[in-house]
Structures are given as C-alpha cells and as structure tokens.
Amino acid sequence: SEFIQYRFGFFDQHPDALRIIEWQYLEPDPFQLTAYTPETIQTIIKRIKYFQKQKQLSSKYNPELIFSLLLTIPLGFFRTFRDLTTN
C-alpha cells in the first residue's frame, strides 16, 4: 500500500512526470526508456510472490500482472481524473 500511495502522491505533486511517461509511450519501443531496471522489476515481482505465499496478496493473479497494475493504475487515474486532485 505504501508503494501505491507513493505513486499517487508523486503524480499528484509532479504532473509533468505523467506527461513525460505519456511521451515515452509514443516511442517505437516505449519500454526501452523505462526507469526500472530488470533487477528492480525482478525484486518487486519477488516481493509480490512473497506476499502471495504469506496470503497477504491473492494468488489468483500472476505476479507480473499485479506489478503491471501497480504501475499503471495511478497513471490511468491521473489521465482521467486530474481535475479531482487540483484545488
């Protein structure tokens, strides 16, 4: 939950970061520009698997899918509902 709160807070405080990510998706290979190294991604996926084994996360879903959702849900929220977070 801290990871998700951090991502929501980050995009709320830094809307330009979302614009940069949006531009990244326009590149021919958008994943070559990712800020995450393969090692970082594997570490996060290992933690997801750990929490699944501890029954703190559902094992119903693939760890890679959960990782993808953790990354993209905040992006989608701020693309769609940006006006809800501004004063």
CA 73 – CA 67 distance, rounded (Å): 10
Torsion sign over Cα 32, 36, 40, 44: negative
The model's confidence at residue 21, banded by pLDDT at 50, 70 and 90, is confident
Reported confidence tier of residue 67, pLDDT bands at 50, 70, 90: confident
The confidence band for 15, taking pLDDT boundaries of 50, 70 and 90, is confident
Q: Are 46 and 64 in contact (CB under 8 A)?
A: no
Tokens of 70: 């953790």
Rounded CA separation 59/51 (Å):
9
